[in-house]
């Protein structure tokens, strides 16, 4: 039996609870050795309720006292605790969003040293067997060219800003299938919720391979749904689930394949023979992160992978707030939307 990977958790809110429960549900040798929070009372209560032996307010102290190999950053601030862990020679897994801007993400990348320790970001939908099967079949040409996709995260919440939060899970899965984007047009609206963030956004995205996609995020939708649909030349592949998709992920039963006429046998045989049995939730990604920690190899999903998704989110905001189509270079360094996701500010500010 391998030696358990020692894990410390920074931040002791809802995300930390999800992480701890997912780690303990794994059939993996892992030991959660510390919980750290700016609020000592919160840290102590969290650790007591989850059977974690060490609580504190200083990550630097916890690194010395408990010697973790991996730190899960679930706090509001991401860069400071991640940098502290990396400087201490400890790998880092950062909860979504990994940063609040592309600049912040690049600062996180710069905190890594060549050869490790490494940073991973939480994008678990990629790791389910359905998503893996889809990418394998698409990559092998079984499905033909991708033509159209829908990526709709329509939830019902008290506050906006879904696209920079849980909506990024679906956007990341979209990009893991279709690759890099080349242009986006978008609109964002504050229709019913208070605050500075949008409660509805709609984007039209063109990808380098020629496919186009509709990306919608809403917090105004009483019938909650997370939906991705991919229309290829030879099949439609879709996955849908309620709001719990953010934490539970997509299982095999959530996926559906509809072959185009004349391609039934080829498509269905390939789909049925692919990988099965792995739900695309936090646990699926955490298992691969732990394997990377043991091997001393880069952890999935690294900062470069997260940057592609964050760059599209920045592009949607830039297109929505500027009122014109945006290409990737429009959110590069020098752009207001590189410095801040809201750039020069939303039209309702």
Q: What is the pLDDT of residue 349?
A: 74
Return the higher-pLDDT residue of 247 and 213. Answer: 213
Share of the chain above pLDDT 90, in %: 94
b/e 110-136 (16+ beta carbons within 10 angstroms → b): ebbeeebbbbbbbbbbbbbbbbbbbee
| CA 171 to mean position of chain CA atoms | 8
Mean pLDDT on 2-9: 95
* pLDDT bucket at 176, cuts 50 / 70 / 90: very high
3-state secondary structure of 11: coil
* CA-wise closest residue to 128 among 226, 6, 10, 17: 226
Contact between residue 211 and residue 186 where contact means Cβ atoms under 8 Å apart: no
Mean pLDDT on 184-193: 97
- Say yes or no to pLDDT of 1 above 70: no
Mean pLDDT on 188-198: 95
Phi, psi of 26 (to 5 degrees): -75, 150
d(CA 38, CA 16): 14
What average pLDDT is seen over the chain? 96
* 55-70 confidence digits (pLDDT tens): 999 999 999 999 999 9
Q: What is the pLDDT of residue 2?
A: 79
Domains annotated on the chain, with CATH: 5-124+283-301 (3.40.50.720), 126-278 (3.30.360.10)
Phi, psi of 180 (to 5 degrees): -75, 150
pTM of the model: 0.95
* 22-49 confidence digits (pLDDT tens): 999 999 999 999 999 999 999 999 999 9
Share of the chain above pLDDT 70, in %: 99
């Amino acid at each position: 039996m391998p030696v358990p990977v020692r894990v410390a958790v920074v931040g002791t809110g809802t995300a930390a609870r999800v992480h701890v429960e997912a780690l303990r549900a794994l059939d993996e040798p892992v030991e959660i050795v510390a919980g750290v929070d700016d609020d000592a009372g919160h840290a102590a209560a969290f650790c007591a309720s989850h059977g974690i032996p060490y609580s504190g307010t200083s990550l630097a102290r916890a690194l010395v006292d408990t010697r973790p190999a991996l730190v899960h950053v679930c706090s509001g601030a991401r860069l400071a605790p991640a940098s502290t862990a990396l400087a201490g020679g400890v790998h880092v897994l950062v909860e979504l969003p990994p940063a609040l801007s592309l600049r912040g993400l690049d600062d996180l990348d710069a905190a890594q040293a060549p050869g490790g320790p490494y940073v991973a970001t939480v994008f678990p939908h990629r790791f389910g067997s359905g998503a893996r099967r889809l990418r394998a079949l698409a990559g092998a040409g079984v499905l033909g060219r991708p033509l159209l996709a829908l990526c709709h995260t329509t939830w019902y919440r008290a506050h906006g800003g879904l696209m920079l939060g849980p909506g990024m899970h679906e956007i990341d899965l979209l990009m893991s299938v279709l690759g890099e984007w080349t242009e986006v047009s978008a609109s964002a609206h504050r229709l019913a919720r208070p605050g500075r963030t949008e409660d509805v956004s709609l984007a039209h995205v063109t990808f380098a391979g020629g496919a186009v996609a509709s990306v919608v995020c809403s917090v105004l939708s009483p019938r909650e749904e997370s939906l991705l649909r991919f229309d290829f030349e030879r099949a439609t592949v879709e996955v849908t689930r309620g709001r719990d998709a953010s934490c539970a992920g997509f299982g095999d039963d959530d996926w559906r394949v509809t072959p185009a006429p004349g391609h039934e046998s080829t498509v269905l045989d390939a789909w049925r023979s692919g990988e099965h049995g792995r739900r695309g939730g936090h646990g699926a990604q955490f298992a691969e992160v732990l394997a990377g920690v043991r091997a001393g190899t880069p952890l999935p999903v690294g900062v470069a992978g997260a940057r592609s998704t964050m760059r599209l989110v920045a592009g949607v905001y830039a297109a929505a707030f500027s009122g014109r189509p945006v290409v990737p270079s429009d959110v590069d360094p020098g752009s207001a939307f590189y410095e801040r996701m809201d750039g020069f500010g939303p039209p309702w500010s």
